[in-house]
C-alpha cells in the first residue's frame, strides 16, 4: 500500500473534476465560454465540487488568519475555485497546474487570474514565502501524499495555512490501489501532523443541494448533446455515475480541512 493512502477505491471515480489527458476539461471550458456564463456561475461551472460553495466559504473564513502574502491554488485546473476566492476575499490567488491546456483555458475563462505551470511536488516558489496553499481535488489524485505535504510545508510562511478540499472515505481503512484515493480524514490528518502541519478547521456540507452543482449540471447536459458520439463520452458518463453512487451511498464524503504550519519558536 502506498504511504499515506490507507483507504481507497480501486475504481476511477472521476472525482470532482477532470482527468489529465482527457478532453473533459476542454469540453467544459468551451461550453462555459459559449454559454457566456458569468461571475459566480462561471466559477461553479469551471470547478464543480460537491458541497461547494458552503465548504469553500467555511475554508475561506478559516484562512482569514493566514499571514499577509501570496496564496497559491495548486492543481487549480480551469480556475473556478481560485477565481471564486479572489471574488470573495481581497487576496490575490496564483493558480499552478501542470496541464498547459488547462492553464490556457483558465486564462481564457478568467483573464484576471495569474497562472503558471508547476507541479505540487516541486512548486516554483521560494521557501517560506506563501501565505496559503489551496488543494482542491488534488490529494485524492495522489497515491502518496508525503512528498506533496513536504513541499507545501517548505513553501508556507510561518503561521501559513494549507486548505484541502476533497472527497474522503467515510469508513474504515480499505485496501487496493486505484487511480483515485479516498483516504479517511483521520488518516490524512495523521500523515499531515507527522509532517508538521496541524489541523485547525474542518468543513463539511450537504452535497445534495445548491446552485453550485446546478451550474455544473447545465454544462454536463450540453456535453451530452455535443459529445455523445465521442469515444471518451461513455467513460465520462461512467465516471460521473460512479461518483454519484459513492456519494449517495455515504461511502465517500466531501469535506474541507485547514492545517497550519507550526509557529516559529519564540525567544526563550
Ligand atoms: C480534480 S481536478 C481539480 C481542479 C481544480 N482544483 C478545481 O477546483 O476545479 C485535479 C487537478 O489537479 C491537477 N494535478 C494533477 N496532478 C498534479 C500535480 N502533480 N501537481 C499539481 N496539480 C496536479 C490536475 O491537472 C487537475 O487540474
Could you report the per-residue pLDDT of 208-221, keeping only the tens digit for each?
Answer: 667 898 898 999 99
Statement: residue 32 has pLDDT above 70: yes
Residue 181, pLDDT above cutoff 80: yes
* Lowest-pLDDT range of 158-172, 183-197, 230-244, 254-268: 254-268
Which residues have a Cβ under 8 Å from the Cβ of 54 and sit 6 or more positions away?
203, 205, 206, 210
pLDDT for the residue 69: 94
Q: Output the residue whose Cα is nearest ligand 1's atom 7.
A: 47
Confidence at residue 128, expressed as pLDDT on a 0 to 100 scale = 96
Task: Determine whether the shortest distance from the Cβ of 23 to ligand 1 is under 6 A.
Answer: no
C-alpha cell at 26: 476542454
User: 81 alpha carbon to ligand 1 midpoint, in Å?
Assistant: 11
Pocket lining: 138 vs ligand 1, CB cutoff 6 Å = yes
pLDDT at 11: 35
Q: Is the CB of 97 under 6 A from ligand 1?
A: yes
User: What does pLDDT average to over the chain?
Assistant: 87
Model confidence at 116: pLDDT above 50: yes
User: Three-state SS across 86-150?
Assistant: HHHCCCCEEEEECCHHHHHHHHHHCCCCEEEECECCECCCCCCCEEEEEEECCHHHCCCCHHHHH
pLDDT value of residue 8: 37
Give the residue from 107, 214, 222, 96 showing the smallest Cα distance to 151.
96
The pTM is what? 0.90
**Interval 233-249 mean pLDDT:** 87
Could you tell me if the CB of 15 is within 6 A of ligand 1?
yes
Domain ranges for the chain: 24-260
- pLDDT band of residue 262 (cuts 50, 70, 90) is low
The fold of the 24-260 domain, in CATH, is Rossmann fold (3.40.50)
Q: Is the CB of 179 under 6 A from ligand 1?
A: no
Question: Is the C-beta atom of 99 inside 6 A of ligand 1?
Answer: yes
Q: Whose CA is nearest to atom 2 of ligand 1?
A: 17
Amino acid at each position: 500500500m502506498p504511504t499515506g493512502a490507507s483507504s481507497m477505491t480501486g475504481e476511477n471515480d472521476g472525482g470532482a473534476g477532470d482527468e489529465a489527458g482527457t478532453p473533459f476539461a476542454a469540453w467544459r471550458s468551451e461550453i462555459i465560454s459559449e454559454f457566456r456564463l458569468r461571475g459566480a456561475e462561471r466559477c461553479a461551472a469551471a470547478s464543480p465540487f460537491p458541497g461547494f460553495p458552503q465548504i469553500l466559504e467555511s475554508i475561506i473564513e478559516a484562512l482569514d488568519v493566514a499571514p499577509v502574502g501570496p496564496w497559491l491554488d495548486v492543481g487549480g485546473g480551469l480556475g473556478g475555485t481560485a477565481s471564486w476566492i479572489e471574488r470573495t476575499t481581497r487576496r490575490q490567488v496564483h493558480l499552478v497546474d501542470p496541464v498547459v491546456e488547462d492553464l490556457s483555458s483558465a486564462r481564457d475563462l478568467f483573464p484576471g487570474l495569474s497562472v503558471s505551470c508547476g507541479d505540487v511536488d516541486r512548486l516554483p516558489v521560494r521557501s517560506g514565502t506563501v501565505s496559503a496553499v489551496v488543494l482542491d481535488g488534488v490529494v485524492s489524485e495522489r497515491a502518496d501524499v508525503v512528498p506533496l505535504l513536504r513541499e507545501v510545508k517548505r513553501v508556507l510562511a510561518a503561521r501559513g495555512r494549507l486548505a484541502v478540499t476533497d472527497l474522503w472515505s467515510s469508513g474504515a481503512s480499505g485496501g487496493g490501489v486505484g487511480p483515485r484515493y479516498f483516504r479517511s480524514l483521520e488518516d490524512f490528518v495523521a500523515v499531515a501532523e507527522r509532517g508538521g502541519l496541524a489541523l485547525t478547521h474542518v468543513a463539511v456540507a450537504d452535497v445534495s443541494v445548491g446552485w453550485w452543482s446546478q451550474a455544473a449540471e447545465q454544462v454536463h447536459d450540453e456535453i451530452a448533446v455535443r459529445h455523445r458520439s465521442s469515444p471518451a463520452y461513455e467513460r465520462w458518463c461512467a465516471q460521473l455515475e460512479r461518483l454519484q453512487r459513492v456519494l449517495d451511498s455515504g461511502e465517500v464524503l466531501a469535506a474541507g480541512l485547514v492545517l497550519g504550519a507550526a509557529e516559529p519558536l519564540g525567544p526563550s
